[in-house]
Amino acid sequence: MPDPVIRVVSIQIGQPQELGVAHAENPLDRPWTSAINKQPVTGRIWLGREGLDGDGQADRRHHGGPDRALLAYAASHYPSWEQELGLTALAPGAFGENLTVTGLTEETACIGDRLAIGDAVIEVAQPRQPCQTLARRFRVADMVQRVESSGRGGWYLRVIREGWLESGMISVVTDRPYPEWTVRKAARVYQGRRSDPAIAARLAECPALSSEWRERLALSG
């Protein structure tokens, strides 16, 4: 069981932007559209059913919606990435997350965890599935593989009750119905769903998992 107290150290939002340079020699530098460049929020911000006011997604097929209203990321991962990538002073939001938190990681957060933050209540819905956006963001061709192998991908949350959020708020895990399904374990099962359909089918039965992942896992057998 993790420390039951989690702190939201930073909140970020952003809108889709046109990035890159036409005809760039490096494919990672060519034009792309993304809302990954989140900026910190000062003061209170409203959390609605589908996310924070002022936040957006470029690819609504793979981001956003009720099961992916928020992306959370562990602040404790940043020193490891700085060392691994040879970077300094990565700021909160560098991985495109809305909530940068302490006291919780993929190893301790579980699918279905409910967290109270002020008047709001949020619920862990699925691991973040990394995509090429991260490779472009960091200009590292194998970034997706690095994130998957390290397990430092973050996790998506759904909003159970709307409310005002502010950086520095304390969050508490109020319910943990599926302690066997940590975010890290769920991510590993999803990645290996075709090689082990039996455990994939077990995860698909978890009602708190996002509907999209449940359908994909059910089809993997």
Chain segment 90-102, per-residue pLDDT in tens: 999 999 999 999 9
Domain ranges, ordered by start, for the chain: 5-179
Residue 112: pLDDT over 60: yes
**Residues 123/99/95/48 CA torsion (nearest 10 deg):** 70
Averaged pLDDT for residues 97-125: 97
Q: What angle do CA 93, 97, 99 make, to 5 degrees?
A: 95
Q: Per-residue pLDDT tens for 161-219?
A: 999 999 999 999 999 999 999 999 999 999 999 999 999 999 999 999 999 999 999 98
What is the structure's pLDDT at 23?
A: 84
Percent of the chain with pLDDT over 70: 95
Token digits of residue 111: 């699918």
Average pLDDT, the chain: 94
What is the structure's pLDDT at 1?
A: 44
Residue 2: pLDDT over 60: no
* Cα–Cα distance measured from residue 214 to residue 205, given in angstroms and rounded to the nearest whole number: 7
CATH topology of domain 5-179: M1 Pyruvate Kinase; Domain 3 (2.40.33)
What is the three-class DSSP state of 80? Answer: helix
**Residues 32/141/182/154 CA torsion (nearest 10 deg):** -40
